[in-house]
Amino acid sequence: MTDPGRRDLWSVITGKGTPSLRGLLLRSVIGVGVVLGVLTVLAIYGLVSATASYRDDQLAAVDRATASEVILADLLNAETGMRGYALTGDSTYLVPYVRAESTYPRNIRRLRTLVTGEPALAEAVEPFDEAAKEWFTEAEAVVDLRRSGQVSEAVARISDGLAKQRLDELRTEHADLRALVTAKVPA
């Protein structure tokens, strides 16, 4: 014979019938378990979101730094090539210069695209771009002098150091941009 004072589990959980301490405790334990389960799910979601955001910020910083490094490396190689051509007249030295001249517009567009939405970085790209354009202007003048047979003028222009000064300005602007890119990465 069943005990009329005992209730089945479902009536205890739902609180039907005569209230009991056992039912109240069971409902409290289940309620706390549900709340802890929801909090655990929210904590895991927050952790995954924060990790994904941190990873995305890291990847963006690496892409930005790489894009600026590509430009700087191209221009350093172009500087060496331009000097070699001006001093020797050997047109094979112009290969890195011509390559940098043709890839620069694409590379600076890529860098600008990568800093979109970051006003400080976008602002830092402008003097970097200006320094590169000033270097190209000076390098073109030296190359044109050599191509036109004005060797001593081309060598004198190299000796004046304006192209090197322009490249040093580019390095300075690159260092400033690089510092901003690094500062944007969360610690």
Q: What is the tens place of the pLDDT at every residue in 76-114?
A: 899 999 999 998 999 999 999 999 999 999 999 999 998
**pLDDT score of 8 more than 90:** no
15: tokens are 């609180």
Q: What is the per-residue pLDDT for 12?
A: 59
Q: What is the per-residue pLDDT for 18?
A: 60
Mean pLDDT rounded to a whole number for the chain: 84
3-state secondary structure 31-67: HHHHHHHHHHHHHHHHHHHHHHHHHHHHHHHHHHHHH
pLDDT tens digits, one per residue of 118-156:
888 889 889 989 999 999 999 999 999 999 999 999 989
In contact, 13 and 30? CB cutoff 8 Å: yes
Q: Amino acid identity of 39? A: L
Of residues 181 and 83, the one with the higher pLDDT is 83
**Dihedrals phi, psi of 70, to nearest 5 degrees:** -60, -45
Q: How close are the terminal C-alpha atoms of the chain, in Å? A: 69
80 vs 59: CA distance, rounded Å? 31
Length of the chain: 187
CATH (residue range 58-183): 1.20.1440
Q: Which run of H or of E encompasses 183?
A: helix 162-183
Instruction: Mean pLDDT check: name the lowest of 19-33, 34-48, 53-67, 102-116.
Output: 19-33
141: tokens are 């003048």
104: tokens are 């620069």
Of residues 114 and 54, the one with the higher pLDDT is 114
151: tokens are 């060797």
**Dihedrals phi, psi of 122, to nearest 5 degrees:** -60, -40
CA geometry: angle 110, 115, 119, nearest 5 deg: 145
Q: How confident is the model at residue 170 (pLDDT cuts 50, 70, 90)?
A: confident
Q: What is the per-residue pLDDT for 5?
A: 53
12 vs 17: CA distance, rounded Å? 8
